[in-house]
């Protein structure tokens, strides 16, 4: 009897202990799952609020133009096209040789804005032109879209001075040249351009990092 009673009590104890152990595993599993879901949800919200997109600006010099697979656009029958296509050596010659590879095209100035929207915006074309003209195009695009989608390279080349032509030997030329030089040194030409071109300076120093706020997706709480 004693062994029988002892056996019954032991069996009952083991049965109850096994049920509690099973419930404990279920409780721990639910707790771990809830913790994982909350952790992933918090991480997803944090990423969506603090996401930073880095904007690439790979073309900063003529060497970058040659080494990358972009297609170059030049103004037809201009100082720029003559300088590159007529160069005999150096980086200018390498840029001119891109025409043989199908990576250099010449266009008219009237096509600049249309090419800016159709080709350059896609990221596979670049344009080399006078700096003031490029700034005006960027300002025009910003006025229409409200965003800076283009940038200028840090490297500058082919400096040019604007001038006014007149009859040879006329005494007006030296007087006009002096006044043009004074106006240029005082920065009046740049000031006039800023005054009469809306949003002229809006995209001259674009940021290379852009903070984004994205909506929370199901992938953020995949657990």
What is the chain's mean pLDDT, rounded?
79
Residue 63 has pLDDT above 90, yes or no: yes
- Per-residue pLDDT tens digits for 120-147: 998 899 999 988 889 999 999 999 998 8
Per-residue confidence band for 78, with pLDDT thresholds at 50, 70 and 90: confident
- pLDDT above 90 covers what percent of the chain? 29
How far is the C-alpha of 49 from the C-alpha of 43, rounded, in Å?
Answer: 10
Distance CA 123, CA 150 (A): 9
The answer to whether 116 and 109 have CB atoms below 8 angstroms apart is no
- Is residue 189 pLDDT above 60, yes or no? yes
Split at pLDDT 50, 70, 90, the class of 8 is very low
* Neighbouring C-beta atoms of residue 135, cutoff 10 Å: 20
pLDDT value of position 45: 61
- The helix or strand, by DSSP H or E, that contains position 204, with its residue range, turns out to be none
Say which DSSP state 53 is in.
E
Tell me how far apart the alpha carbons of residues 217 and 223 are, in angstroms, rounded to a whole number: 12
Q: pLDDT-based confidence at 2, cuts 50/70/90?
A: very low
């Amino acid at each position: 009897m004693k062994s029988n009673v002892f056996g019954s009590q032991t069996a009952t104890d083991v049965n109850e202990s096994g049920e509690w152990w099973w419930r404990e595993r279920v409780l721990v599993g639910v707790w771990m799952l809830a913790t994982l879901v909350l952790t992933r949800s918090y991480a997803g919200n944090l990423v969506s609020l603090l996401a930073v997109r880095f904007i690439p600006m790979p073309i900063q010099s003529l060497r970058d133009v040659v080494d990358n697979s972009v297609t170059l656009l030049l103004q037809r029958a201009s100082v720029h096209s003559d300088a590159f296509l007529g160069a005999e050596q150096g980086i200018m010659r390498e840029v001119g040789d891109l025409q043989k590879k199908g990576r250099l095209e010449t266009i008219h100035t009237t096509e600049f804005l249309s090419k800016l929207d159709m080709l350059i915006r896609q990221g596979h074309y670049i344009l080399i032109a006078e700096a003031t003209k490029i700034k005006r195009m960027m300002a025009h695009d910003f006025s229409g879209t409200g965003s800076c989608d283009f940038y200028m390279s840090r490297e500058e080349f082919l400096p040019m001075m604007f001038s006014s032509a007149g009859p040879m030997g006329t005494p007006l030329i030296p007087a006009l040249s002096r006044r043009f030089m004074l106006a240029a040194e005082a920065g009046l030409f740049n000031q006039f351009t800023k005054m009469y071109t809306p949003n002229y300076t809006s995209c001259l120093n674009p940021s290379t990092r852009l903070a984004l706020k994205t909506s929370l997706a199901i992938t953020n709480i995949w657990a």
